[in-house]
Structure 1
């Protein structure tokens, strides 16, 4: 389980996160929602170690990882899919995936390419092709697959639906749901597409101006019309 405890972040005089507390539990999807500027990406960058916190703690399976360097966190079981679908375009699909397996949390468990190809058959069909030829949706599948090659305990995703066709979003979100339910993965999903995120999430957290303004079961949040109109845009 990933636990965020009273986390605060400053960018100079700007208070970007204000005492944020939430958790991502094994076998469940936690959706972090809010408008642009709410603090969602700052939260993920702080979890991953790219932005230092001012105060608070980040705890993974009982271990305080707040000050652990970003490059060491995958080896502890935390994998992140950043916004932007970054792949190494000169490498093949399979080579990109193998890079994800270099930092496996469980060194005794071999990275499983076939598992990723079963999840995303289009990657298996084109495994020897350069990542350059992939569409935006296929690149998102590749970066999710690359993160999973590290056999994480917690998978953190930043806006995975951004700019993708609804059909691809449905496929990726269905895969995330299956990973949580069938494999017990803890998923922390940051999304501006609140409607879609809440449809697959177990729990939701709403940020506004760096503060948690609501958190509850996903269905409860989705049914709250005042909350939806004020913060979620649907």
Structure 2
């Protein structure tokens, strides 16, 4: 069977949020560093070391690694700071909106972030209407990547078998979660994020043709 990418209802796209749809990783890192009086790590290093990780796991690792203790209420203050910065500083990656409009079949967001953060981010960059109510958070299922249960939850809610889902991610833990769920992963990002076990792309203008090629290979 050969699928027509533009009209098929057999395929569902699952997008990560941070670092995939929106250029938010440096914003997240700045808000995280601000939780501590002094942290001997740069924004760039923090993004590289903890891309895609659960917030509580990042905080625990930072405290173990640097002996730093966050001020009380750290996670609540972090989320509030990030959402405030999103309203002023957040941008979607180049070509995202055009690509999403061209890919006219079911799609959703599955993110480790709280749902309020997902909604704030998508609203800030004009993408909330693209996904509608199809927003899924690790906080709903109580599991974070690389555990596959967030992606499996999203697929079930969207009404698709895992093997018919394509996941677009920017982190290796996200790729691992997609593979564990039995889905086809695509890794978005610069050369440092290259991963040999999945399809890598650097520009959203390339996504549609890569999806078409992947579906064609699978349907032979």
| TM norm structure 2 | 0.30
Structure with greater strand percent: 1
